[in-house]
Structure 1
Amino acid sequence: MSDDYANRSYGEIPVGFGKKPGIVVVDFQLGFTDPQYPLGGAPLVMRALDNTEQLLKVARRYNVPVAVCNTAYLNEREMPYWKITAVRETFRHDHPSAALDPRIHDPAYDLTVCKKGPSIFFNTGVSDYFTKERVDTVIVTGCNTSGCIRASSIDSFSYRYRTIVPEDCVGDIEQQPHKDNLRDLGRRYVDVSDLATVLAQIEDWHRQNAE
């Protein structure tokens, strides 16, 4: 079957892995990972949570910078015009679903921010932190692929980071939006990878810098 995007050179040039990685972990808060909440427990999100937990254990061992975020607001007045009832009703600072999932959060290690929009980079200071840490390659993990992962990946690209999205470390409510958005990101802005490949790249980076 013909691929008109490929015929027009989309996706021809890989991003590649640069000199130093950093990891962003987007919205693995209990509202998305605990099935007792309206948005919680989607199978793709839980798969991504498990794989990101594995990735972070290695990353922290090798002193890779990690930035973790949730999304929460004081009240509805502070919020953007979300079209999702569950977000308006539960993504509050005083609601238990706003807490980060402890499986991916190390408060003594991670830069922890609360974002107010879709992207972890928007008005949070994450890019300033990565600049100080001399990060040139951002590995994007979290949820949801079609929303905050897409927005964070595009902002990462816009900040001129090499951007890597491991497919099995991000998740969404449905498979098709997950696939479609990764396909489109991969055509333009990012390298779509997987946990095993990213772990191997981090191991190689650590080995080179330890010599």
Structure 2
Amino acid sequence: MSSKAVLVIDVIKDFVDPEGKVPHPQAAAIVPQIEAFVAAAREAGAVIIWIIDAHRPGKPDWELAHVRAHCTDGTPGVELAEPLAALPEDYVIKKRRYSAFMGTDLDLVLRDNGVETLFITGTKTNVCIRATSQDAFEMNYRVIVPRECVSTDKEHLHVANLEDIDKYMGRVVDVALALELLQAEDEDA
């Protein structure tokens, strides 16, 4: 069993597809990098966890009270961006807050699988990536963010949040080094 997991956060149609509710071209641009990274992670035996922002239609929702409507559960907007696909051995976890830990069983899934190191990918760097990285750090997980596998729609926020994650919560590295760390013996990550 690997002590590593890859989280793919919100790489779904509402963020990636130009017809989605809140798309940005930077999200679409990272899909090929994430696809390749997930394939390498599977080869290395890492746990793959797809995190899906999915809000319940017609129900009270604190997040949606503060941002525009997006990612309504049961709509095409919450489907993984093509060509990404979850395999039966993967986990798919729905969330309704920025952090993938808030109100989900992510921590339990990670602990059940003996995971210690998280490779965090997806969108948006300044919102869901940062919130999940911060919570992961606070829960004693090692955080590694492959720079080419995260995005947001504002470059200055992308850069500033990656700097904060790298300084305070974990490591932000290029995808080549992330792949080396992924394939390294567990104590090296």
TM-score by length of 1: 0.81
Is the 2:63–2:96 contact (alpha carbons within 8 Å) kept by the matching residues of 1?
Answer: no
The change in CA–CA distance for 1:76 and 1:161 in structure 2 (over 3 A counts) is same
Aligned pair partner of 1:30 in 13, 21, 25: 13
1:51 aligns to 2:33 (yes or no):
yes
Identity of aligned residues (%): 24
Q: Shift in Å at residue 183 of structure 1?
A: 0.9
1:180 aligns with 2:160: yes
Q: Secondary structure at the match of 1:57?
A: helix
Gaps of 5+ in 1: 1-18
The size of the alignment, in residue pairs, is: 185
Secondary structure of the 1:151 match is helix
Instruction: Give the TM-score normalised by structure 2.
Output: 0.90
Q: Deviations over 1:78-136 (max 9, x none)?
A: 32143322xx2x42113211112243332413110110110111121111111121111
Equivalent-residue separation in structure 2 for 1:204 and 1:97 (angstroms): 36
Q: Match for 2:4 among 14, 21, 24?
A: 21
**Residue pair 1:142, 1:171 contacting (<8 A) in 2 also:** yes
> Equivalent residue for 2:150?
170
Structure 1 residues 76, 148: CA separation in 2 closer, same or farther (over 3 Å shift)? farther
Partners in 2 of 1:62 and 1:186 — Cα distance? 24
1:44, 1:174 within 8 Å by CA — same for their partners in 2? no
Q: Find the aligned partners of 2:179 and 2:171 in 1 and give their Cα distance.
A: 15
**Structure 2 stretches of 5 or more lacking a match?**
none
Amino acid across the alignment from 1:198: A
Q: Structure 1, residues 145-190: CA drift from partner, whole Å, max 9, x if none? A: 0000000000110110011111111000121110011111222111
* Larger gyration radius, structure 1 or structure 2: 1
TM-align CA RMSD: 1.9
Which of 28, 40, 56 does residue 74 from structure 1 map onto? 56
Q: Residue in 2 aligned with 1:39? A: 22
